[in-house]
Amino acid sequence: MRCVERTFEYMDGLVFVCLLRSRQIDAQLFDENIVRQNWFHILVYGGFRVMVPAHDLQAAGEVLVEFRSGVLRCDDDEMDRPTCPACHAQSGEFDHRQRRWVFLAGIVLWLAPGLVAEFLRDPLIPFFFLSSAFWLAMSMPWLLRFIVHNRLRCAECAHAWRDLPRVPFGRQQRDAEEALTVQGA
């Protein structure tokens, strides 16, 4: 097996493996479970490796060039984008600003106790309150999920909104399975 691509994005690696497999190239995503277990060390691990057999290396390289150049990108007409509630344009896309704010808040809450304790020269009180705020925030994954999931932003008018799924996931999954069985019959 030979490495045809290294990526630090898990979904990019999966998409590329699926593209290669759709062209009958036996591709594997190496280091998938190791890197995902400790993602703080993703640079040390070298990211995810897309591996193919040595005799398929040239064909995989050609697919990689198409993948990176955007030739395989879907047309905007084929994309199902959410409708903006403000301007009614179908240009909704994921809004990543909340993820950045949560990440920044985590860093600040992690570093703040030591900095405040050093500044005030009274290490116990600020350290206790700020570090407990950090651990309290990190111990509530449902709160973090509420803050970052289903946030959308309009590419035209920059309106931001939260789009809640109207149909439960289990029902969507059953509907998809039924559609596949009807289509396959």
Instruction: Write out the chain's pLDDT in tens, 185 residues.
Output: 899 999 888 888 999 999 999 999 999 999 888 877 776 777 788 889 999 999 999 999 999 998 888 888 777 666 778 888 889 888 888 888 888 887 787 777 777 766 666 666 665 665 566 666 666 666 777 777 777 778 889 888 988 888 876 778 888 889 888 888 887 65
pLDDT of 46: 84
- Can you give the pLDDT at residue 56? 92
Distance CA 84, CA 95 (A): 13
Provide the whole-model pTM.
0.52
Give the DSSP H or E segment for 29: strand 28-30
Q: What is the pLDDT of residue 19?
A: 92
Residue 76: the pLDDT is 66
Helix ranges restricted to H, the chain:
10-22, 32-37, 42-45, 57-69, 97-120, 124-138, 141-148, 169-184
* Residue 159 burial (C-beta neighbours within 10 Å; 0-12, 13-18, 19+): middle
Give the pLDDT confidence score for residue 122 in this predicted structure. Answer: 61
Q: Of 34, 29, 42, whose CA–CA distance to 1 is shortest?
A: 29
Instruction: Note the pLDDT of residue 184.
Output: 65
pLDDT in the model for residue 54: 92
